Amino acid sequence: MGFVNMGTLTGWGVPVESIARTTRVAAGVGAFCETPLGRMEGTFAVPVRCGSRDKTERFQFGFGLTF
């Protein structure tokens, strides 16, 4: 499965041009599988646009339980 993620954090009254300039964008792929213990997932993402002080992580693994 592929994805594109974008977003920014801002307050009220900020000009739209400023929001467009500071929006972060990442694209990647992910996969998941259901196991008897829960859902396991992994993603790989590449930052398309990020800030100079942003911490970037390309790989992410997760595990979820269903009750």
List of long-range contacts for 52-56, beta carbons under 8 Å, 24+ apart: 54/24
Confidence check: pLDDT of 18 > 90: no
Q: Tell me which residue of 61, 44, 60, 58 sits closest to 3, measured CA to CA.
A: 44
Confidence check: pLDDT of 22 > 90: no
Q: How confident is the model at residue 32 (pLDDT cuts 50, 70, 90)?
A: very high
Q: What's the confidence (pLDDT) of residue 25?
A: 93
Per-residue pLDDT averaged across 38-59, rounded?
89
pTM of the model: 0.69
Per-residue pLDDT averaged across 35-47, rounded?
91
Q: What's the confidence (pLDDT) of residue 11?
A: 86
| Token pair 């041009």: residue | 17
